[in-house]
A and B are shown apart, each in its own frame.
Chain A
């Protein structure tokens, strides 16, 4: 079945460091891909999305490119801030729209 695998955390970085969180997926057809962020005590918020191959989603300095050839959707940010500390979830919605599947989440901790 469809699935999402993301890198284990926690990821600990200093402010202004470069961030990469890896995400790969397994799905038939052409799913849409999402990154959600969950701040402490909050629900999940959509960070960015890409709906077709080679699309780049971007928001708040974060970027991810939908790579069908490698079935990946890695999250990147050039310079992280303390306020980026949160849990990040990679997710896919299958082509039929009938399933929204999440990875296990990666905790990011940024120190000043």
Chain B
């Protein structure tokens, strides 16, 4: 079974430019997460989807960040315009269920560098 796939693995952009990340979750996983991981820190939730609905986007900086999950499968996360402080690893994860007992499966992440 394929795991969570993210692309690109690495991205370098100039500040004020737009950038987009893509995630393909594990087949059949209805729950999808986007996390931000700063250097030396634990992942912090940006947004959680149940199917195609964003059920928790309270931590997403909506002035510059947006996300979508069309048809409840793949998801994209966009930043426009990027700022220097957005340099971090963006992790996508999926989960087979909403109960407490279900773990999340993570992709390898996209490392963003804003120069």
Contacts and interface: CB of A to CB of B under 8 A. Distances in A.
Interface of A: 4, 30-32, 34, 36, 41-46, 49, 51, 89, 91, 93-105
Contacts of A41: 108
Interface residues of B, number: 27
- Counting chain A CB atoms within 10 Å of each CB, the highest count among B43, B98, B102 belongs to B43
B101 A32 contact: yes
Interface of B: 4, 33, 40-45, 48, 55-56, 91, 93, 95, 97-109
Contacts of B55: 98
A98 B55 CA distance: 9
B42 A104 contact: yes
Given A30-B100, A43-B4, A105-B41, 8 more contacts: A31-B100, A36-B106, A46-B105, A93-B103, A94-B100, A97-B102, A100-B33, A102-B42
